[in-house]
Amino acid sequence: MTAGFWRQVMAVVERDLVRERRTGDVLWVTIPFGAIALLLIPLAVGTDALLLSQIGPGMYWVIVMLFGVLVAVGKASSETLPQQDAAALAGLDPAAGFVGRSTSATMLLLAFEVVVGVVAVGLYNLTLIGIPWLIVTLVIVAVGLALLGTLTGAIVNSTSAGTALVPLLVAPLSVPLLLGATQAYDGLRFGHSILSWVLLMAAVVLIVAMIGVLTARPLQET
Amino acid sequence: MQTQARVRRWPWVAIGLSLATAFTLSMMSPADSVQGDLVRIMYVHVPSAWLAYLAFFVTFIGSVAYLLTRDLRWDRIAAASAEIGVYFTGLAISLGMIWAKPTWGVWWTWDARLTLTAIMFFVYLGYLALRRTTEDPVLRAGRASVLGVLGAIQIPLVHFSVIWWRTLHQPPSIIRPDGPAIQDPLMLVALIGGVVAFTIVYVSLMVKRIELIHLEDRKSAVESAIERPVAGEAVTAPKLGASS
């Protein structure tokens, strides 16, 4: 990967972030949607404070998985076919495009995780333990979801089902991340080592990243 | 002509013979001292689960091979295998639930193996759904093969779940470092016989399904060629026999 490759990555990141600044999709739509979902859960399961503090972390991660993926998919599928063709003709390396879109989605997902996390801590009375490990978990989940969302967004792009198919594809594939994140939080709460869960999530992220980079060109051709 | 008909019929004959053998072996096997006759469900449940792994692994291999060679035959193998895999995963889950109700007292328990198997089922259901969204065989193959590779992440997770987590589901019964857990030779023969029979069923179904996918692709190619204008939109094929 040359300096040219990384320049292309940075150009794609910049483009996506500028687009987000203009449209505000994540800031004004997805984040409030996630916060509303956290508000609705206690109305359905009961407002017992102890129960909510027990299920809160799990609910937070489920919201991150289900809503967070919309962030990544939105960015991946927002390009029209003529735009994709123009990017290809301009010499954009498909792998650089994938890495760039995933990076910008990671940044937006981190913002989503932090804001919705603050809401969850407040509403569910959660205690934050092992903050450095928690940050590591948040970053790995954001990277993993961004990669999965970007990859599946590219797979379904211009199919007849469009992005409607993405949740069906991403939700089951993100299970290792959901398991790792929830188990890591429980491990921190009970003072256990969470290294094995962090490694599991990192391994999944690495595999998805490899698949994404290696299949970027074949996917562009479709 | 007769030989051709015989060749076309062999998968069905193989399926019939294999299933009949598996059924006979499972009926000859003694009832379990604890589970009673319920154990016979295992002679279908275990081979179905094995077949699901095999099928999804073949989908993975077919997908990788397609991405490397761009030969549509690999994509047909991947697609056929995923369809069979989804069917047998569904069968394994359903039979597991029927067995669990009298044994564990519940249809479903949040056991790692059960939950991850259900998730694997949905991953490949998504794979099949994705295939239905694209008509063009080449475009469809490109997209589906990437998902076929991605979906394979779940296979080791499901298999090793009984080792990584403390689960209700029992660990592997046959392939174990200290030999098979089943002591009764008739039970072991019935289980291994079932696995072999189901593998033959899988191969036979694969042969028929691949043939069918090939015919479907040819049919849609012919149909799209008929609908396509002869030389752009301006010149179209004459409609012979039209009254006006």
Chain B interface disruption, residue of A211, A217, A220, most B CBs within 10 A: A211
Q: B54-68, pLDDT tens digit by residue?
A: 999 999 999 999 999
Tell me which residue has tokens 């790692």. B112
pLDDT for residue B74 is more than 80: yes
Domain that holds residue A156: 3-221
The SS3 of residue B235 is strand
Q: What mean pLDDT is predicted for residues B234-243? A: 61
How many whole angstroms separate alpha carbon B62 and alpha carbon B239?
A: 43
Q: With a threshold of 0.90, does the pTM exceed it?
A: no
Query: What residues contact B101, with CB distance under 8 A and at least 6 apart?
Result: B107
Q: Find the angle CA(B112)-CA(B115)-CA(B116) to the nearest 5 degrees.
A: 80
Count the Cβ atoms, other than its own, within 10 Å of residue B141: 28
Percent of chain B residues past pLDDT 70, beyond the cut: 82
Euclidean distance between CA atoms B87 and B202, whole angstroms: 11
User: How many Å apart are CA A168 and CA A78, to the nearest integer?
Assistant: 19
Quick one: pLDDT at residue B176? 61
Which is nearest to B50 in space by CA: B194, B150, B153? B194
pLDDT-derived band at A126, boundaries 50, 70, 90? confident
Residue pLDDT, tens place only, A90-108: 788 889 999 999 999 999 9
Show residues of chain A in contact with B153, CB under 8 Å: 173, 176, 204, 207-208
When pLDDT is cut at 50, 70 and 90, the band that residue A110 belongs to is: very high
Alpha carbons B65 and B80: distance in angstroms, whole number: 15
CA–CA separation, A66 and B146 (whole Å)? 22
Name the DSSP letter for residue A97.
H
Half-sphere exposure of A99 (CA within 13 A, CB side): 17
Q: Would you state the torsion angle of the CA atoms of residues B200, B205, B208, B209, taken in this order, to the nearest 10 degrees?
A: -140
Report yes or no: B157 at the A interface, CB cutoff 8 Å.
Answer: yes
pLDDT greater than 50 at residue B244: no
Residue partners of B102: CB distance under 8 A and separation at least 6: B38
Q: In angstroms, what is the C-alpha Rg of chain A?
A: 18
A108 interface with B at CB cutoff 8 Å:
no
Chain B residues within an 8 Å CB radius of A159: 130, 133-134, 143
Q: Please give the pLDDT value at position B174.
A: 62
A81 contact B CB<8A: no
A221, B133: Cβ pair inside 8 Å?
no
Place of tokens 């970027």: A216
pLDDT digits (tens, 9 = 90+) for B88-119: 999 999 999 998 888 888 888 888 888 888 98
Find the length of chain B: 244
Residue A113: pLDDT above 80? Answer: yes
Look at residues A25, A30, A37 and name the one whose alpha carbon lies nearest to residue A119: A37
In order of A69, B60, B165, the CA distances from A153 in angstroms are 10, 20, 32
**Structure confidence at residue B67 (pLDDT):** 92
Which of B123, B126, B153 is facing A207, going by the closest CB pair?
B153
Distance CA B102, CA B37 (A): 11
Residues A175, B118: contact at Cβ < 8 Å?
no
Best probe of the A interface among B74, B147, B166, by most A CBs < 10 A, is B147
pLDDT in tens, A58-84: 999 999 988 887 887 766 566 677 777
Task: Count the neighbouring beta carbons within 10 Å of the beta carbon of residue A111.
Answer: 17
Q: How many domains does chain A have?
A: 1
Task: State the pLDDT at residue A193.
Answer: 83
pLDDT tens digits along A20-59: 888 888 888 888 989 999 999 988 888 888 899 888 999 9
pLDDT at B65: 95
How do residues A161-179 score in pLDDT, each as one tens digit? 667 788 888 888 888 888 8
How confident is the model over A117-140, as a mean pLDDT?
90
Count, residues in chain A: 222
- Complex ipTM: 0.77
Query: How far is C-alpha A100 from the chain's CA centre?
Result: 14
Bridge partner list, A208: none
Average pLDDT along chain B: 82
**pLDDT (tens digit per residue) in B13-25:** 878 887 888 788 7
Q: Report the run of H or E that residue A169 belongs to, with start and end.
A: helix A166-173
* B95 in A contact zone (CB under 8 Å): no
pLDDT band at residue B43 using 50, 70 and 90 as cut-offs: confident
Exposure b/e, A197-217, CB count within 10 A at least 16 = b:
bbebbeebbebbbebbbebbe
Inter-chain Cβ pairs, chain A and chain B, closer than 8 A: 71
* B14's tokens: 């193989």
| pLDDT recorded at residue B159 | 74
pLDDT in tens, B191-232: 888 888 889 989 999 999 998 988 888 888 787 777 666 666
Taking the C-alpha atoms of residue B64 and residue B86, their distance in angstroms, rounded to an integer, is 19
Could you give the CA distance from residue B202 to residue B198 in angstroms, rounded to a whole number? 6
Q: Are A188 and A158 in contact (CB under 8 A)?
A: no
Q: Does B139 touch chain A (CB under 8 A)?
A: yes
| Phi/psi at B134 (5° precision) | -125, 125
Q: Which helix (H) or strand (E) holds A12?
A: helix A3-23
